[in-house]
Every structure is written in C-alpha cells, then in structure tokens.
Amino acid sequence: MSLKETIAWAKEKKVAIGHFNVSDSEGFRAVVEGAKELGVPVIIGVSEGEREFIGVQEVASLVKIAKENGHPIFLNADHTYSVDKAKVAIDAGFDAVIIDGANKSYEENVAMTKEVVAYAKAQSREVLVEAELGFIGQSSKIIDTVPDGVSEETQTKPEEAARFVMETGVDLFAPSVGNVHGLVKSGQPKLNIERIKAISEAVNIPLVLHGGSGIADPDFVSAIEAGIRIIHINTELRVAYKEGVEEGLKSGELAPYKFMQEAVKEMEQVVKERLKLFNRM
C-alpha cells in the first residue's frame, strides 16, 4: 500500500498513523522495530537538521530496505522551509514532504506550497505534500510553558484552511488546534476538538497533528475521532534517547552497540506505547 492508501485505511479503521522523528540509525531502528512488533504502519520523519545529520540519501535507503522487507514504513521530510530542500527530498525518494511557510505571509505560503505541489505531482511515483497554517511554535525541546502566540485566537480557522487547501492543492493539512511543538513542563496543551472537527469537514483531506508530545491520551483519542490521521511525536523520543544514553554510559562499556542498547530500548518503548494508543490496541 502507498502512503495515500495507508491513510485511507486509517480513516476506515478510525485510527491514526504514528510519525516519529529520528536523527540517526539508532532512532530509526527503535521506530521500525516498535512498529514491526505491533504490526502497524509508521512514518519516519526527518526535519532539515535531522536530514543533514543522518543524510538525505542514507535515510531514504534505510526506509527503502525496510519497505522491501515487507513492512509499511514511509518517509517524510518534516518541516521544510525552502522549495529547494523540498525538491531534494522528493528527488531522494521521500514519500511525503512538509513545506512550512507558516511563518510567511499568506500569499508567500500559498506560492511556495503550490510550487512544491506542482513538483510532487510531476513525479512518476506518488509523493504527498503537507502544509500548515497557523502558529504551532518551532521548538522540539522541553519548554516551561505554552509559548506566547498559542491561543484559541491564533488557531487555524476552518474557512481559512478550506481556502488554503483549495488554492494550494495539498494532500495533507496541519492545523493549529491547541497543539504546540516541544514538551511543555507546566500547563499541558489542550486540543480544541471542536475546531479539529470543523477543519476536517471544511478541508475534506486528512489532518496531521504536530506537537504530539505531552498531549493527554484522551485528547489523542478524541482528535483521531475528529479527523486526525497522522500524529507527530518527536520530543518524547528525544528525552527517551538521552536518558537511555545516560543510563547506558553508566555501565562503563566501550562498545557502542552495548552502551547504546538502553537508548534504543527506551525509544522503542515510547514508540510502542504511542502506536498502541493511536491504533486503538
């Protein structure tokens, strides 16, 4: 199944596909093993920085091999801030790309998104394009409080979303609905479920929830019911990775494949917990 078909399957089953960011082969292994164990599809996300670290071609090859082994694994170029970098990812064989013009003017956001959509559609294979409208913040760190600029007032409005999707022709849409990038220490982000429903009806394409780390479980379930088909988890995985590395180093082991084991295990744990929730298992 292609990513598009997998998203249609998720809609039918009323579940969401987990999207996990990785920076290296350890993160990659944790996500793939976790998804394999549960037998569910999964999306590997790599931001511009993560892509630079792991290598655009390298991560594309890892996903290609995993796919050939028969597991539904897809690769997404997470938050891509330029048309050029989106094209590089598409050329490398990514299944999807997020063109992020959320910080630009509406007109600029539409123009750059349209350019990427045209490029994706011109490919002989299927490439999905996602875009976002509204403020979600840009951090993948642990932040003290919900940042300024995240309020009901700044959340995506259904009519604006509908217009944006129509004008750009994107396949997937990431709204701002109370979600925030990063992991918030105090004041858990609360999702606006009614807004998700209204946007879902207005745009009539699958919705993607960014900033999934730290959102309460019942909110996820309601969000999936309301039309969310892909959920992004990044910061939680980074926390698990770092804690696992710290734990592994305590052993005094010199062999990376030994002292890194704990990190992979802890990341895999996070992946499995989230996938179980998103897939209603």
Q: How many CA atoms are closer than 13 Å to the CA of 6, on its beta-carbon side?
A: 21
Using alpha carbons, select from 86, 43, 48 the residue that is nearest to residue 63: 43
Q: How far is the CB of 79 from Zn ion (least distance, A)?
A: 6
Can you tell me the distance from the alpha carbon of 126 to that of 148, in angstroms, rounded to the nearest whole number?
38
Using alpha carbons, select from 103, 102, 54 the residue that is nearest to residue 75: 54
Q: How far is the CB of 230 from Zn ion (least distance, A)?
A: 11
Q: How many CA atoms are closer than 13 Å to the CA of 272, on its beta-carbon side?
A: 14
78 is catalytic: yes
Here the tokens at position 226 are: 């309301």
Query: 192 or 235: whose CB is closer to Zn ion?
Result: 235
> In sequence order, what are the residues at sequence separation of 6 or more whose Cβ sits closer than 8 angstroms to the Cβ of residue 269?
34, 240
Here the tokens at position 118 are: 């045209």
Query: 210 or 229: whose CB is closer to Zn ion?
Result: 210
Give the active site residue among 78, 95, 171, 219.
78
Query: 236 or 262: whose CB is closer to Zn ion?
Result: 236
243: exposed, middle or buried (Cβ count in 10 Å: 0-12, 13-18, 19+): middle
Q: How far is the CB of 233 from Zn ion (least distance, A)?
A: 10
Residues near Zn ion (CB under 5 A): 210
> In sequence order, what are the residues at sequence separation of 6 or more whose Cβ sits closer than 8 angstroms to the Cβ of residue 181?
136, 137, 138, 139, 140, 210, 211, 234, 235
Q: How far is the CB of 232 from Zn ion (least distance, A)?
A: 5
Q: How far is the CB of 124 from Zn ion (least distance, A)?
A: 28
Residue nearest to Zn ion (CB): 210
Answer yes or no: are the C-beta atoms of 270 and 242 closer than 8 Å.
Answer: no
CB atoms within 10 A of CB 51: 24
Query: 135 or 259: whose CB is closer to Zn ion?
Result: 135
Answer yes or no: are the C-beta atoms of 58 and 90 closer than 8 Å.
Answer: no
Query: 42 or 260: whose CB is closer to Zn ion?
Result: 42
Query: 210 or 238: whose CB is closer to Zn ion?
Result: 210
Q: How far is the CB of 234 from Zn ion (least distance, A)?
A: 7
Write out the catalytic residue numbers. Answer: 78
